[in-house]
């Protein structure tokens, strides 16, 4: 009986930590801009924060990167990995594009379900 209460308490603590993490505010790591298009900027921001796309794989180490959205005049400006390290103490991910490293020029399009971005070669 005592073991089951302990196990139940442990599960409850883990679950509450998970739920808290899901509701934690996201840290600013990009800027979405548009000039004249009628896109819903919040929809693009939600897709960027969804976790379905790893934006770190498109992030430069020491400068911001601007990526256009296909078929619109909207862009996403990704903060640099160094900027995120300084601002938030985030460890620089291995997939960060380092100075001198080759990278592909891409555009993003919103997925059909609106929950993520699909990269496309320019």
Please list the pLDDT of the chain residue by residue as tens digits (122 residues): 555 554 445 454 444 443 333 444 568 999 999 988 788 899 999 999 998 999 999 999 999 999 999 999 999 999 999 999 999 999 999 999 999 999 999 999 999 999 999 999 98
Report the alpha-carbon distance of residue 103 to residue 3 in Å, rounded: 54
Inter-residue contact 79 to 43 (CB < 8 Å): no
Q: Is 42 inside any structural domain?
A: yes
- In the chain, the largest separation of any two C-alpha atoms, in whole Å, equals 65
In which domain, by residue range, is 115 found? 26-121
- CA-to-CA distance for 88 and 73, rounded, in angstroms? 30
Structural domain contains residue 73: yes
Q: What is the domain count for the chain?
A: 1
């Amino acid at each position: 009986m005592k073991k089951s209460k302990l196990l139940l308490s442990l599960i409850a603590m883990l679950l509450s930590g998970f739920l808290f993490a899901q509701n934690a505010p996201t840290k600013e790591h990009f800027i979405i801009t548009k000039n004249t298009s009628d896109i819903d900027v919040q929809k693009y921001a939600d897709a960027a924060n969804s976790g379905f796309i790893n934006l770190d794989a498109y992030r430069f180490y020491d400068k911001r990167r601007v990526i256009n959205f296909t078929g619109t005049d909207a862009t996403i400006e990704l903060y640099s990995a160094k900027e995120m390290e300084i601002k938030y103490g985030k460890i620089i991910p291995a997939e960060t594009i380092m100075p001198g490293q080759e990278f592909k020029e891409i555009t993003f399009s919103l997925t059909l379900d609106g929950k993520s971005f699909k990269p496309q070669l320019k």
